[in-house]
Structure 1
Amino acid sequence: MKSINPARRPRSAPPGLNLLRAVRPVRTFPGVTKIEINGANLAYDDTGDGTPVLLLHAGIPSRDDRVPGPA
């Protein structure tokens, strides 16, 4: 069996990315977009480059302590 160089493997989108593209977002206030998936309202922002990262929290703390502000 021939091994495949990982750098040459075809890359597919992360499973949730296509779901987010299929849902119509609604802007609520600057910097925050909300979508509804299976009856749950989710707020998100899409910033930066590279591999997508999903950070989840219970809603009590702010993301400001984890995500740097604009440079």
Structure 2
Amino acid sequence: MSRCVEAIKESTHNHLADDLEINKAVLFLRQKDVAQATETLRSFEKWSNKMATNAAVNLSTIYYLIT
């Protein structure tokens, strides 16, 4: 799946790549793979946009649920 996201990042539809990354993290959560979900969401920490905010909310929820 990451090759797909990378290909989209380099295409004319690069605005969709952020949504795919968030969806990938949600998929990991559905599979109960918290480590992969956390890693995927942390990739947004260095950004300052709406997707970074969504990722931060999801990370906060994960930390709340596992502690």
TM bin (shorter chain): under 0.3
* Structure with max Cα Rg: 1
TM-score normalised to the size of structure 1? 0.24
Structure in which a larger fraction of residues adopt strand? 1
Q: Which structure would you say has the larger RCO, counting Cα contacts within 8 Å and 6 or more residues apart?
A: 2
TM-score normalised to the size of structure 2? 0.25
Structure in which a larger fraction of residues adopt helix? 2
